[in-house]
A and B are shown apart, each in its own frame.
Chain A
């Protein structure tokens, strides 16, 4: 197969969220510098502590899997609002089969049932052709109802509860040898900036779940499939212009069947992660709207695997901070304010007045928050991913590049 046709062209690349790897690196470096500064000033050491980075990863993975699931479906041209329901399928099957036959079987069962739930969405939207949003919402409802119904039947008999499964054996974790102690050593030396960074890395390398590593591999894999493989080209073609794709002999229906089934499997694996790694039980309401945040990461990441990953890490980070101290959240806001102030300065220097005003406003708001608000309300941290997505949509909607026909009904042979 030819790989040239599958690579994104330059114009498409230029539209991407962050323009070049170099700029991203610089940005990250600035953020780090500011964070370490703020930590030194405020004494809120939680932001870049090893615990936070580990927790961020644990919170990010379910969002990442839901986001990748949304990405697969939307790239093929079908919006998957049923991600939340498919995650519920994952939590429940992982816990039940994990309880019966061990966690590995639970994981496998979650993948299979997730695939089936995705296939269900595919049959409804592609074959029968009903509204994609209605189908997704109905799947959410049915999955939630079915999980509660089945919990009520199965769990009380085996030592669980109507809403909680019996505990499931956890999956193995490991600490990366050599590297982890190395970074731990630097972290403990308390050198400005360097210690912060290595503390973060140390947190990522200790008590790492095998599943975490495995699921993270789906990011490069998705990337490779989308941009380098024949199937990925077909998938994107089906999402951009199904009629033209069909006229070139691509089986749009089959492509979408596969893509949406994979979408269900990924979301379900995200749910399984919640039940098997992040905790060791199924609990009612465990997914807590993560499917919808996954949907948000797709937008946030501009329909790209790397972007979805970045979005889920950001949202996972806010989640991780939420369960920690609130003064570290305040420090984070201070850091964000400083970054926004610097950005504003940059825009003023390059004479871009509108973005300068926006980032300046954000900086002033952060300053005001630091001066006036002593305790950031929990509620806003919870809704942060949603708010961030709305803001991105508001200010960057023109620069986002969603698949052209995502969400549109398509019937073979009709316009």
Chain B
């Protein structure tokens, strides 16, 4: 039975990816281009060492968003607020980092902790509303994402916390001095953010927290059954609040890799849309730290290699459609697998009780 489960756990994501590949195959066929040559073009471009490095850097951000979403999912929380939490984290990390002068390691540490606090606090709003006011976290988080964007673009004004450098059109934060920057690792004539190690650490910590600590056990228990957890002495509302904040704190780290190793300042050029990506990756990776990594890599691979389609007259936005279909296929696959498992169980129970029937009658 467990072997069967493991097979399905891997089979479902693979089936989902194949399904969406088939879908894209048909769309490209309609467009009148050869799908297979398109795919091979994307693969050869995407696996080019130079591109591989930037994909890996993007993977770091996606991975953290995925882990943040997964923490929520373990509790049946739908953290669509990752977008706002990530912005808050990156923005306040940049502001604090640009405002102080500290010894090298301490400076970076301060930025990272600030980002986690900012993200966590922003998530705490949704957590509070859910626990104390009974507000659905999906709605409150969607609203909070818009509000976060507004607050930050206001705070970025030169009259507030931001600055407008000579010859620049976009407001940004004051640059972080060298002591607050993180080194990069030179590889394949590119530079990998050393924040990668933080992401790996977060992945390991997530796994340990979930599987080896009482907190993780309580978290999973609350997710499986709020009432049962409460009955067995878990402070379930508090668990929900703490989990939301934790998820937000991880989300606060999403933009920090780019901030510390590349831009050294926050501006409106920081991309949006991490919320949905995070949720998608957690779903695709089945909330498992390793699964999420592969999902995150697949995502950044697709995005990085999409522009090559442009030269063949295929709008690269096809990749967005592909990502959407992957997500739909995966949740459908899980639903179908769950249905099959249920039916198998019912059949097993049915056959056992059918055998038991005669004995009962003979009594």
Contact string against A for B residues 142-164, beta-carbon threshold 8 Å, 1 for contact and 0 otherwise: 11101101110110010000000
Residues of A119-168 at the interface with B, using a CB-CB cut-off of 8 Å, are 124, 128-131, 133-135, 137-142, 144-146, 148-149, 151-153, 162
CB-based contact B154/A292 at 8 Å: no
CB-based contact A81/B150 at 8 Å: no
**Shortest Cβ gap from B234 to chain A (Å):** 23
Residues of A366-385 at the interface with B, using a CB-CB cut-off of 8 Å, are 377, 379-380, 382-383
Is B140 close to A, CB under 8 A? Answer: yes
**Shortest Cβ gap from B304 to chain A (Å):** 16
How many Å lie between the Cα of A387 and that of B125 in the bound state?
A: 13
CB-based contact B146/A133 at 8 Å: no
Total residue contacts A-B, CB cutoff 8 A: 127
Main secondary structure of the interface of A (DSSP, over half): helix
**Shortest Cβ gap from A77 to chain B (Å):** 14
CB-based contact B143/A145 at 8 Å: no
CB-based contact B138/A133 at 8 Å: yes
Residues from chain A with Cβ under 8 Å of B135 in the complex: 393-394, 397
Contact string against B for A residues 386-408, beta-carbon threshold 8 Å, 1 for contact and 0 otherwise: 11011001100110000000010
Is B298 close to A, CB under 8 A? Answer: no
Is A65 close to B, CB under 8 A? Answer: no
CB-based contact B144/A124 at 8 Å: no
**Shortest Cβ gap from A268 to chain B (Å):** 18
CB-based contact A135/B321 at 8 Å: no
CB-based contact A135/B140 at 8 Å: no
CB-based contact A124/B146 at 8 Å: no
**Shortest Cβ gap from B226 to chain A (Å):** 14
Is A79 close to B, CB under 8 A? Answer: yes
Is A38 close to B, CB under 8 A? Answer: no
Q: A134-B283, A379-B151, A380-B150 are in contact. Are A142 and B325 (CB under 8 A)?
A: yes
Residues from chain B with Cβ under 8 Å of A397 in the complex: 129, 133-135
How many Å lie between the Cα of A152 and that of B27 in the bound state?
A: 14
Interface segment out of the listed B35-43, B87-95, B326-334:
B326-334
How many Å lie between the Cα of A237 and that of B276 in the bound state?
A: 32
CB-based contact B80/A390 at 8 Å: no
How many Å lie between the Cα of A371 and that of B292 in the bound state?
A: 51
How many Å lie between the Cα of A140 and that of B145 in the bound state?
A: 16
> Which of A379, A380, A389 lies in contact with B143, CB distance below 8 A?
A389
Q: How many of chain A's residues have a CB under 8 angstroms from any CB in B?
A: 44
Is B317 close to A, CB under 8 A? Answer: yes
CB-based contact A295/B142 at 8 Å: yes
> Which of B136, B147, B322 lies in contact with A386, CB distance below 8 A?
B147
Is A289 close to B, CB under 8 A? Answer: yes
CB-based contact A134/B327 at 8 Å: yes
Q: Which B residue's beta carbon lies closest to that of A396?
A: B133
Q: Which A residue's beta carbon lies closest to that of B76?
A: A131
Residues from chain B with Cβ under 8 Å of A141 in the complex: 276, 320, 323-324, 327
CB-based contact A383/B146 at 8 Å: yes
Q: A134-B283, A134-B327, A393-B135 are in contact. Are A145 and B320 (CB under 8 A)?
A: yes
> Which of B139, B147, B149, B322 lies in contact with A299, CB distance below 8 A?
B139
Is B48 close to A, CB under 8 A? Answer: no
**B binding-site residues for A, Cβ under 8 Å:** 31, 78, 80, 129, 133-136, 138-140, 142-144, 146-147, 149-151, 153-154, 157, 276, 279, 283, 315, 317-325, 327-328, 331-332, 335-336
**Could you show 18 A-B contacts with beta carbons less than 8 Å apart?**
A124-B328, A124-B332, A130-B328, A130-B331, A133-B78, A137-B279, A142-B321, A142-B328, A145-B317, A145-B324, A295-B142, A296-B143, A377-B154, A379-B153, A383-B151, A393-B135, A393-B139, A397-B134
A134-B279, A145-B323 are known; give 10 further A-B pairs, CB within 8 A: A81-B138, A133-B80, A137-B279, A145-B322, A379-B149, A386-B144, A386-B146, A390-B144, A393-B143, A397-B133
Report, nearest first, the 10 A-B pairs whose CB atoms are least far apart.
A145-B320, A152-B315, A383-B150, A142-B324, A148-B317, A141-B324, A145-B321, A379-B150, A386-B146, A386-B143
